[in-house]
Amino acid sequence: MTEATWRNWGRTVESTPTESVFPTTTAEIARIVQRAADSGTSLKTVGAGHSFSACAATEGIQLSLDNLAGVKAVTPVYGPDGEPAGADVTLWAGTRLRDAGPLLWELGLAQENLGDIDEQSIAGSISTGTHGTGAGFGSIHTTVTALQIVTGTGEILDCDAQQNPELFAAARVSLGALGVLSCVTVRCVPAFALESTERPSTLDEVTGDLEGFLRDGDHVEFFWFPHTDLIEVKQNTRIPASSELRPKSAFALKRGELLTNNAFGMLCRTVARRPGLTKHANAISGRLMGKSTYSDRSYKVFSSTRNVRFREIEYGVPIADAAEVLAELRSFFDAAEFPTPFPIEVRAVRADDAPLSSAHGRDSVYFSVHQYVGMDAEPIFDHVESVFRAAGGRPHWGKMHSLTVDELSRLYPRYDDFVAVRDSVDPERVFRNEYTEKVLPA
Ligand SMILES: Cc1cc2nc3c(=O)[nH]c(=O)nc-3n(C[C@H](O)[C@H](O)[C@H](O)COP(=O)(O)OP(=O)(O)OC[C@H]3O[C@@H](n4cnc5c(N)ncnc54)[C@H](O)[C@@H]3O)c2cc1C
């Protein structure tokens, strides 16, 4: 047990837990939760600390499942004609996605879709609704078929669509507010590879029919260099795992690393000192983005390395309204009054039914706006948030936003169902923190 300052990856949150604990069994988690409940202390589970919001911060007990990781069980799944269709893989909740990828590949399996980094823990990733891109694919939590959770009363509950179904539905995206997830069962698909094409283009290609553009392919997204009309399009196409793979060469990897991390970091430091240069810097970044095609194991293609630290706001808006949102953002960033050197990422995600999923009930387009840690984020985030809110946008729970209970309860049709489940499994609010106090009722 230690008492030390904790900071998240984005350096947007700092807290001083009274103690940090690293249980290695579910029974031990239950004992720790019981102790917290008995003493009236709050407890928060932290994953990889990769949320920009304060959802994982605590001034009480910080519980990490870094020592509870790996594959617990594998149950094969068959299609309608008895053909192998993947497996339900139960992962200990602290498993990092970067470890799950190779472990699953060895089993001939893969996660259906992933976000663009793989540092997160499986429990942390689903708890905020982490998503990748692909209008035909849901966020990571939509692939979860069962969970084990330690509730605020120290009970260990297994839940799935049949057993404790309300808890299961709510716990898939639950901000650590319903309990400590100890196991997460993920419906994995047979291992597959991705062929990735990255190419430079301009906003003109996407603005005519943004929805059509994002729906045209398995996993389509683009990075827009704000204050310019330059974009980098990334299209990942699913191909069989047995395909002859053409991974990025060592040279291409090195070049990518230099461009997206080293040179980009230098550029960010420069524009932080001279913000007036941002527009020109972004034009250079946009032009440096070349065309490349490569193929590799799915988990390797989905994720990238992010070494230049940033802050981020991300909202999901209904897919039909995304073009209008993009136009609004364009007029704001064209004025270049508040510069950012970071590209804006635009992705699409299929609707789902988790009560607190930001894609609840609607196919969504997500806009991620970033700011370099050394530059002022507030005026940009304030403005873009007003654009997202006007479009009925819902914030990513793991990213920065200013919404509170009143507005959130109107944005989520099943918000009250979530609150009712919380009342039943954590009546004493053991899992409270400043963030839950902001986004959930007392
Ligand atoms: C560089 C970077 C890139 C990112 N890329 C993407 C992306 O492509 N797509 C996207 O959607 N998001 C992205 N994110 C956001 C990130 O995926 C989410 O914030 C995610 O929740 C972080 O996971 P984590 O393991 O770090 O969890 P943490 O941030 O540590 O915790 C997140 C929440 O999960 C809860 N939690 C963690 N473990 C448990 C558990 N065992 N039981 C119960 N609750 C638990 C915590 O209490 C907290 O509320 C990115 C973030 C960064 C920093």
Where do the H-state alpha helices sit in 4-82? 26-39
Q: For the segment 338-385, what is each residue's pLDDT rounded down to a tens digit?
A: 899 999 999 999 999 999 999 999 999 999 999 999 899 999 999 999
Q: Which atom of ligand 1 is nearest to the CA of 139?
A: 11
Cβ atoms < 10 Å from Cβ of 324: 14
Which residue CA neighbors atom 7 of ligand 1 most closely? 115
Same domain, 201 and 172: no
- Residue 286 has a pLDDT of 86
- Residue 256 has a pLDDT of 74
* Mean pLDDT for the stretch of residues 13-29: 98
Domain assignment of residue 228, yes or no = yes
DSSP state letter for 352: B
Domain assignment of residue 204, yes or no = yes
In short, whether 395's Cβ falls inside 6 Å of ligand 1 is no
* Mean pLDDT for the stretch of residues 22-29: 98
Out of 353, 370, 395, a domain closes at 395
Out of 167, 191, 215, a domain closes at 191
**Residue 220 sits in which domain range?**
193-395
Task: Examine the pLDDT at 9 and tell me if it is beyond 80.
Answer: yes
Q: Which residues contact 337 (CB under 8 A, 6 or more apart)?
A: 379
CA 220 to chain centre: 17
Distance 115 CA to ligand 1 centre (A): 11
With a threshold of 0.90, tell me whether the complex ipTM lies above it: yes
- Residue 1 has a pLDDT of 45
In short, whether 56's Cβ falls inside 6 Å of ligand 1 is yes
- Residue 261 has a pLDDT of 72
Distance 303 CA to ligand 1 centre (A): 15
* Mean pLDDT for the stretch of residues 280-296: 89
Average pLDDT, the chain: 95
In short, whether 121's Cβ falls inside 6 Å of ligand 1 is yes
With bands split at pLDDT 50, 70 and 90, how would you rate the model's confidence at 255? confident
Q: Which atom of ligand 1 is nearest to the CA of 396?
A: 11
Q: For the segment 142-186, what is each residue's pLDDT rounded down to a tens digit?
A: 999 999 999 999 999 999 999 999 999 999 999 999 999 999 999
Same domain, 267 and 330: yes
Task: Examine the pLDDT at 3 and tell me if it is beyond 70.
Answer: no
Give 305 or 164, the one with higher predicted confidence. 164
Same domain, 208 and 144: no
Same domain, 153 and 262: no
Q: Which atom of ligand 1 is nearest to the CA of 55?
A: 49
Same domain, 163 and 268: no
Which residue CA neighbors atom 52 of ligand 1 most closely? 50
* Mean pLDDT for the stretch of residues 80-99: 96
Q: Which atom of ligand 1 is nearest to the CA of 128?
A: 21
Asked whether the beta carbons of 307 and 379 are under 8 A apart, the reply is: no
Distance 122 CA to ligand 1 centre (A): 8
Same domain, 233 and 356: yes
Asked whether the beta carbons of 66 and 123 are under 8 A apart, the reply is: no
Which of 195, 190, 167 has its CA nearest to residue 417? 167
Domain assignment of residue 174, yes or no = yes
With bands split at pLDDT 50, 70 and 90, how would you rate the model's confidence at 260? confident
In short, whether 286's Cβ falls inside 6 Å of ligand 1 is no
In short, whether 51's Cβ falls inside 6 Å of ligand 1 is yes
Domain assignment of residue 37, yes or no = no
Cα–Cα distances in Å, from 327 out to 207, 333, 400? 8, 10, 22
Same domain, 318 and 345: yes
Out of 142, 172, 191, a domain closes at 191
In short, whether 228's Cβ falls inside 6 Å of ligand 1 is no
Cβ atoms < 10 Å from Cβ of 295: 21
Distance 403 CA to ligand 1 centre (A): 18
Choice among 206-220, 248-262, 263-277, 344-358 with the minimum mean pLDDT: 248-262
Q: CATH number, domain at 197?
A: 3.40.462.10
Domain assignment of residue 28, yes or no = no
Q: For the segment 99-124, what is each residue's pLDDT rounded down to a tens digit?
A: 999 999 999 999 999 999 999 999 99
In short, whether 131's Cβ falls inside 6 Å of ligand 1 is yes
Same domain, 285 and 158: no
Domain assignment of residue 260, yes or no = yes
Q: For the segment 320-330, what is each residue's pLDDT rounded down to a tens digit?
A: 999 999 999 99
Same domain, 288 and 377: yes
Q: What's the domain count of the chain? A: 2
Q: CATH number, domain at 113?
A: 3.30.465.10
CA angle 391, 393, 398 (to 5 degrees): 160
- Residue 258 has a pLDDT of 73
In short, whether 387's Cβ falls inside 6 Å of ligand 1 is no
- Residue 119 has a pLDDT of 98
Cα–Cα distances in Å, from 181 out to 175, 177, 339? 11, 10, 40
Which of 384, 386, 387 has its CA nearest to residue 371? 384
Q: Which atom of ligand 1 is nearest to the CA of 122?
A: 25
- Residue 240 has a pLDDT of 97
Same domain, 120 and 172: yes
Asked whether the beta carbons of 317 and 391 are under 8 A apart, the reply is: yes
Same domain, 360 and 321: yes
- Residue 103 has a pLDDT of 98
Grouping H, G, I as helix, E, B as strand and the rest as coil, residue 125 is: helix
Domain assignment of residue 267, yes or no = yes
Distance 298 CA to ligand 1 centre (A): 20
With bands split at pLDDT 50, 70 and 90, how would you rate the model's confidence at 284? confident
Q: For the segment 64-83, what is each residue's pLDDT rounded down to a tens digit?
A: 999 999 999 999 999 999 99
Grouping H, G, I as helix, E, B as strand and the rest as coil, residue 437 is: helix
Same domain, 266 and 175: no
* Mean pLDDT for the stretch of residues 309-314: 96
Amino acid at 353: D
Domain assignment of residue 409, yes or no = no
